[in-house]
Amino acid sequence: MKENVFDVLLYLFENYMDEDPERMPDPDSLRNELVAAGFPERDIDKAFGWLESLTCGQPIQTTMPTFRIYAPEEQAKLNQECRGLLLFLEQTGILTPSNRELVIDRAMALSAEELTLENLKWIVLMVLFSQPDQEAAFARMEDLVYGTTPVALH
């Protein structure tokens, strides 16, 4: 079975999302658990780096509506369906322009040539989970990821 960084991220997110930060295992214990689960160490290192990058960026501050033009590399990785989802999430208030840029940055940091819509939904969920004061947006996105809310509301 071919594992990748995204699989490591999903494993961590699904198994530790609800953990109290005080009860979280230390990084060495997490690394050992991931190795025991069969993930390659190279992918574990990349996943830890990916997660660390969530907290390193400077937020974009804007009060005006924004318009996003995608670079050719971004268009190659984020197909039209993925870009449409990002637009929808921003228009419905789930993503702020700052969080949208963080999602795009984290998507581009993955080694996959092209992301699926499902992968992008999980990235959005991970980004929202990592950001302060995004509980409502996280809950709405969680409904979309787990399929309890239709993407297009009529």
SS3 readout for the chain: CCCCHHHHHHHHHHHHCCCCHHHCCCHHHHHHHHHHCCCCHHHHHHHHHHHHHCCCCCCCCCCCCCCCCCCHHHHHHCCHHHHHHHHHHHHCCCCCHHHHHHHHHHHHHCCCCCCCHHHHHHHHHHHHHHCCCCHHHHHHHHHHHCCCCCCCCC
| Structure-token pair, residue 16 | 């530790």
Residues of the chain below pLDDT 70: 1-3, 19-22, 57-65, 148-154
The residue ranges of every structural domain in the chain are 1-53, 62-154
Q: Whole-prediction pTM value? A: 0.79
Q: What is the pLDDT of residues 4-35, one digit of tens each?
A: 888 988 888 888 877 666 677 888 888 999 99
> What's the alpha-carbon Rg for the chain, to the nearest Å?
16
